Amino acid sequence: MSYSGDREYTAPHNALVPMVVEQTSRGERSYDIYSRLLKERVIFLTGQVEDHMANLIVAQMLFLEAENPEKDIYLYINSPGGVITAGMSIYDTMKFIKPDVSTICM
């Protein structure tokens, strides 16, 4: 993460995202760590909440609901705050979907 004087937080464009290799009956499959955690119904919200990020979080929650509406979703949050309307879209989706969404503050 980088910090500028106007209090905006941005992730570096060259951030290293770990890869996970999984053994399956059909061989090996590699995932970036966030995709692998999404398979376990874990979503990460990091940095300032803004429209693009909120759209990605909402899409992930809707995908997980479509995949299994009975299984809980875990949302890990590490955020200083952000745009109210973007945050409300995430909150509204959490209330709209059938699975319970547990929030964990980091």
Q: Note the pTM of the prediction, 2 decimals.
A: 0.81
Whole-number Å distance between alpha carbons of 64 and 66: 5
Number of domains in the chain: 1
36-59 confidence digits (pLDDT tens)? 999 999 999 999 999 999 999 999
* Domain membership of residue 65 as a residue range: 2-105
Are the beta carbons of 80 and 48 closer than 8 angstroms?
yes
pLDDT on residue 3 = 43
Q: Band of the pLDDT at 8, cuts 50, 70, 90?
A: low
Domain at 75, CATH number: 3.90.226.10
